[in-house]
Structure formats: structure tokens, C-alpha cells
């Protein structure tokens, strides 16, 4: 009588690893489509508050009036789900952005017309008495709001 050495049919280690990775990818895809990918935003679109602060400090130090008063920058904060475009002058003077501590620049006087102040492509209007953003402190006119 001969004894045969039969080995069991099993999955290789590579197959098990690939199945686990596939399962992880599948779970991530389901979660991403179910939540609208907002949970992954902080990994692919990081906050840039420190970078904007540095840019504004450089513009102030170099006495770059245009760069500080009108140069457009995009402020992104994942904590507040914020992505907004405007200038250092607006970020430093408008109370909505005070929590980001964008520094003001004492050596530069912006002296802008209301219609030259822009937030996310919307220009300032001095014919209204209220709005989402009060940028009157930057404008030559008495009042200037952006909705």
C-alpha cells in the first residue's frame, strides 16, 4: 500500500492580501459616494491659512500696495468648509475672517473704491445699507457691502 502526500488546496498569501486591499477600496468607494466625498476633502484639499498669512506678511514687508490691497488669494479652511477668494486687506479687516488672524498692515493704505473691493468675484456696493460682508473700512465711500 502506498501513501500519497496530498496537500490541501488553499489560497496563496498574495491572493489573501489582494482580497483585503480590494475590500478596503470597495468600502472607501461606497463611503465616498454615500457621503459625497466630503470626508476625504481634508486629505486632498488641505487648509492654507498659514500660507495666506505668510503671503500677506511678505506683501506688507515689501510695501507692495497692489499685492496687499488687490492681489487675489484663495483662503481655504477645512474646519469651516471655507474656500473664498479675496485680498489680504479684506481678510484682515472683515470680521468674518477674524478667526484666521490675517495681519493688517499699518504701512499700507489701500484707499480703494467700493466697486474695486471683491470677494469671490462679487464687487462691493455702496448703495445698500447691509450685506454679508461689511468692507466699509477699506472703501473711500462711507459704506460698502458685499452680498
Strand partners of residue 82:
77
User: Which position has the grid cell 497692489?
Assistant: 66
Q: Is the residue at 47 inside a domain?
A: yes
Host domain of residue 100: 43-146
**How many domains does the chain contain in total?**
1
For residue 3, the model assigns a pLDDT of: 60
Residue 103 lies in a domain: yes
- C-alpha to C-alpha distances, 10 to 7, 14, 20, 25, 96, nearest whole angstrom: 9, 12, 16, 24, 62
* pLDDT tens, the chain, 147 aa long: 556 655 656 778 899 999 999 999 999 889 888 887 766 666 666 788 999 999 999 999 999 999 999 999 999 988 788 889 999 999 999 998 999 999 999 999 988 999 999 999 999 888 887 888 989 888 888 888 998
Burial label, 119 (beta-carbon count in 10 A; 0-12, 13-18, 19+): buried
Structure confidence at residue 73 (pLDDT)? 93
What pLDDT score was predicted for residue 70? 92
Cβ atoms of residues 124 and 117 within 8 Å: yes
| Residue 79 DSSP label | T
Amino acid at each position: 500500500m502506498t501513501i500519497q502526500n496530498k496537500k490541501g488546496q488553499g489560497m496563496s498569501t498574495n491572493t489573501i492580501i489582494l482580497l483585503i486591499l480590494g475590500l478596503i477600496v470597495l468600502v472607501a468607494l461606497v463611503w465616498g459616494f454615500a457621503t459625497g466625498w466630503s470626508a476625504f476633502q481634508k486629505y486632498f484639499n488641505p487648509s492654507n491659512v498659514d500660507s495666506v498669512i505668510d503671503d500677506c506678511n511678505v506683501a506688507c514687508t515689501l510695501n507692495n500696495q497692489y499685492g496687499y490691497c488687490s492681489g487675489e488669494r484663495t483662503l481655504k479652511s477645512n474646519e469651516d468648509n471655507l474656500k473664498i477668494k479675496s485680498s489680504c486687506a479684506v481678510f484682515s479687516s472683515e470680521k468674518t475672517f477674524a478667526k484666521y488672524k490675517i495681519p493688517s498692515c499699518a504701512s499700507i493704505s489701500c484707499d480703494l473704491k467700493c466697486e474695486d473691493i471683491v470677494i469671490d468675484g462679487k464687487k462691493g456696493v455702496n448703495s445698500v445699507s447691509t450685506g454679508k460682508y461689511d468692507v466699509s473700512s477699506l472703501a473711500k465711500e462711507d459704506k460698502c457691502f458685499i452680498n
